[in-house]
Every structure is written in structure tokens, then in C-alpha cells.
Amino acid sequence: MATKHGSLFRGRIGDKVYYVVDGKQRVRSVADHVANPRTDEQQSHRDGFADIVRLSSRMADAHTLGLHYIARRKRTRPYLYFRSINKDCFTPNGQIDYPRIILSYGSVARVDITSVKTQTIKRSDTQAITITFDPCLNCGNADPDDEFYLYAYCPPLGIGTLFRPVLRKSGTITVTLPKEWLLNIHLYAFLRFPGPMSSTPEDDKPSAKNRRGHTSSTIYIPLP
């Protein structure tokens, strides 16, 4: 049903829809029939879209942080940007190419993973994962206080965990996970520049101000 605002109409009257653009009246016809073919290709596309929407929701803890800066620059939301850059990671048969998933993107210098070790902790029936990485402090944009984030995702359970970060200069991170996770788990990491200390005026550190919130590209870490 249309409503009138002054001399302008908004809404539907019969087979016409009235709307306003920049203060000017516009009108369009309502389609008699909307094509909705359920071809195999159409159905595959819809299933793929549903899959990526579901995955973006489950991985929100990681990509909300890892894609925040680049999404803000592109004037969009992290979850929308996640969907746009990861849509090709879904195969027609519904499989997900997890090593290709992108959770972060940016100019911060990433690190090289030098070793990954797992160890069973019998008392608590958990698995400890220790990841050692090269701080790469000789790079021009590798700040020793960059934060190294590790994210673990378990597809059968549909849940993930973003662990508390360690500083780049530490060179190692150890986390614990339930033992059953190790049967099917994917590990991702990225670095984030935290920005200037709150006690330091931002204007005194322009380079730090410009880098605040920047992240590195996603690092996929295969288990041994």
C-alpha cells in the first residue's frame, strides 16, 4: 500500500511501485513472474552461499579482528568481506578447501613457522600444541610488540577458538585443546599491530598511528 508525503508517493499501487530518489518521484512496474529455476547450477550456487554464510558466522571471532582494518577501508563489514574473498574456497560438491580460507589480510610482516609439536596431557585428557615461529625482527615493518594470534577450527563440531595472543618477540605459543579436536582441526595464525601505548599521544608517533589495527596475511599451519 502506498503512502503520500506531500506530492510524492511511496509504496505500491496496483502493479506499480512508487519511490523517491533525490526528492524526485520514480515508478517501476511489478514483475508478473519471478524466474526461479532450480537447475543443478542454481542449486549448487545457493548451497555454496549458505555454506559460506554459515562458516563466516562460525569463524566470526577470528575474521572480525583479522579483517577489521581492510573491511573498514573498503567501507564494508568484516563478515561481508570474508564472504567475498572466500567464495571460491567452496567446491560444487559442498566441500571446503580449508587451507585457502582467508581470515586476515594486511601489510604487517608475517612470520615463518619453524616447528609444530603436539603432546597429550594425560591428567586432563587434552592435547597441547606448541608452535614455534621466527620473529623476523629484521624486517622494517616487524615490530617486536606485534601480536601473534592463533585460531583453531574444528569442522565436525562447527566451532573455533581464538586464543589469547603472544608478542612477536616471544617466538612461541602453546595452547591446549580437547583431545578429540585433533582428529579434524585446522590452525590459522595472523599478526596484528596493537597501536601506540595509551600513555603516548598518537600525534607523537605518526607511524604507529597509521599502522594501528593493521594485520598480516593469514598463515595456515598444518599439524604434523
145: closest CA among 80, 57, 208? 208
pLDDT tens track for 90-144: 876 778 999 999 999 998 999 999 999 988 887 777 889 999 999 988 887 789 9
Alpha-carbon span 119 to 39, nearest angstrom? 49
Please answer whether residues 173 and 163 qualify as being in contact, where contact means their C-beta atoms are separated by less than 8 angstroms: yes
Residues in the chain: 224
Alpha-carbon span 177 to 125, nearest angstrom? 9
Say which residues have a Cβ less than 8 Å from residue 213's Cβ, sequence separation at least 6: 68, 69, 192, 193, 195
Alpha-carbon span 163 to 167, nearest angstrom? 13
The C-alpha cell at 188 is 590459522
Give the pLDDT score at 204: 47
Which stretches of the chain score pLDDT less than 70? 1-2, 32-48, 92, 195-211
Side-chain-side CA neighbours of residue 171 (13 Å):
6
Give the pLDDT score at 46: 55
172: closest CA among 117, 101, 99, 103? 117
